């Protein structure tokens, strides 16, 4: 007899940069007790009006066992960076698109906190837009 079927999960985040080069979305999800999260895909899309702009997404997995000072939370536990690359598309307003779509296999045990941070290299650029989507599933653990 097989166990319970996997429960699909998708989280979409839409941060907007103001004058900062860092956007902490903080804890976006805590894996429920008795479940394991398997993240299978990380997709992100950014739009920037600032020439030469670069973006990257940092996915962090924090367990209850992690003892980390507050100013180092983004680097605690498992930290997984994803660099967005220029898609080669420029709109009429001069904005450019940056993308990443990466198949992964990230595991998060029960009560692990999933945190997402988004970075860009220009602190004084225009207001930029980004979207981050994590897709995977929850499975029962004994």
Q: What domains does the chain contain, in order, with CATH numbers? A: 7-140 (2.60.120)
Q: Which of 3-12, 15-24, 89-98, 100-109 shows the lowest mean pLDDT across its residues?
A: 15-24
Q: Which of 4-13, 38-47, 52-61, 116-125 shows the lowest mean pLDDT across its residues?
A: 116-125
Instruction: Express each pLDDT in 29-46 by its tens digit.
Output: 889 999 999 999 999 988
Sequence-separated (6 or more) residues with CB below 8 Å from residue 24: 74, 115, 117
pTM of the model: 0.80
Confidence of residue 1 (pLDDT cuts 50, 70, 90): very low
Confidence of residue 71 (pLDDT cuts 50, 70, 90): low
Please give the residue that has the higher pLDDT: either 73 or 57.
57
DSSP assigned state of 6: P
Rounded mean pLDDT, 121-133: 73
What are the phi and psi torsion angles at 20 (to 5°)?
-105, 155
Rounded mean pLDDT, 55-82: 69
Cα distances from 72 to residues 67, 68, 77, 81, in angstroms, run: 10, 6, 10, 15
């Amino acid at each position: 007899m097989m166990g319970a079927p996997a429960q699909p999960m998708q989280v979409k985040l839409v941060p907007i940069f103001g004058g900062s080069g860092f956007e902490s979305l903080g804890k976006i999800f805590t894996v429920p007790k008795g479940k394991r999260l398997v993240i299978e895909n990380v997709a992100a899309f950014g739009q920037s009006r600032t020439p030469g702009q670069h973006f990257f997404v940092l996915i962090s997995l924090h367990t209850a066992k992690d003892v980390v000072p507050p100013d180092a939370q983004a680097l605690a536990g498992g930290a997984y960076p994803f660099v967005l690359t220029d898609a080669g598309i420029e709109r009429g307003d001069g904005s450019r698109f940056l993308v990443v779509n990466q198949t992964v296999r990230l595991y998060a045990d029960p009560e692990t906190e999933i945190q997402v941070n988004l970075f860009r290299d220009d602190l004084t650029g225009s207001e930029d837009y980004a979207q981050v989507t994590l897709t995977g599933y929850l499975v029962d653990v004994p």
